[in-house]
Amino acid sequence: MITALVTCGALAREVLALKQKYDWKADVLGVPALLHNHPKKIPSAVLLRIRQARRNYDRTIVIYGDCGTSGDLDKVLESEGVERVSGPHCYEMYADQEFNKIMIDEPGTFFLTDCMLRSLDHLVIQNLGLDRLPELHDIYFSNYTSVVYLAQSNDDELTSRAKWAADFLRLPLKVRSVGYGALESRLVNLMHTEDNI
């Protein structure tokens, strides 16, 4: 039995690593991470991937947070009879129990992940127009108070990139090594549940 893991592009690298670690019979089918800038498009993009997957796979699991869809993603998944890894977004998945504490203690936090750092120029700087209109910086980031890098890996280059990003945003940086956090435990649980159906 082969599983299709319909995965947010921001989680794809980590899901591929988990697939290898646990030797799952699964393929990762990515959905573009850029859709986070247009969350209303996420449900239809995920639905398309689910329907494509049904042609070639025995089962489908969605690895996505709600990510600003206001419950619309879950409505699509319920209508299709497909489960997803629980959680509102990848920051909560990675930080797990720490996430709510961070949000209570520091509500003005701008989060970074390994994926965000690898794609920061495209996902944030270019997509928000900061490369062309630097005066937009204060409009976008004036209410933030700090940057928290939720590190999935122990990568000096990414940590340096996080320092650069915090300097660019003119905010202090905190680094928290969280690994895959609840993304791993929740996905392992779903895969195990599916294996026993």
pLDDT of the residue at 174: 97
| pLDDT tens by residue, 98-133 | 999 999 999 999 999 999 999 999 888 998 899 999
Burial class (CB in 10 A: 0-12, 13-18, 19+), 150: buried
Q: Which pLDDT band holds residue 192 (cuts at 50, 70, 90)?
A: confident
CA 33, CA 194: separation in Å to the nearest integer? 26
- Residue in the block written with tokens 């699964």: 26
Range list for CATH 3.40.50 in the chain:
3-88+181-195
pLDDT of the residue at 197: 45
CATH numeric code, 3-88+181-195: 3.40.50
pLDDT of the residue at 84: 96
**Which segments of the chain does DSSP mark as H helices, in order?**
12-22, 42-53, 72-80, 90-95, 97-105, 114-118, 120, 136-141, 156-169, 181-195
| pLDDT tens by residue, 25-74 | 999 999 998 898 899 999 999 999 999 999 999 999 999 999 999 999 99
Neighbours of 51 (CB within 10 A): 11
pTM: 0.89
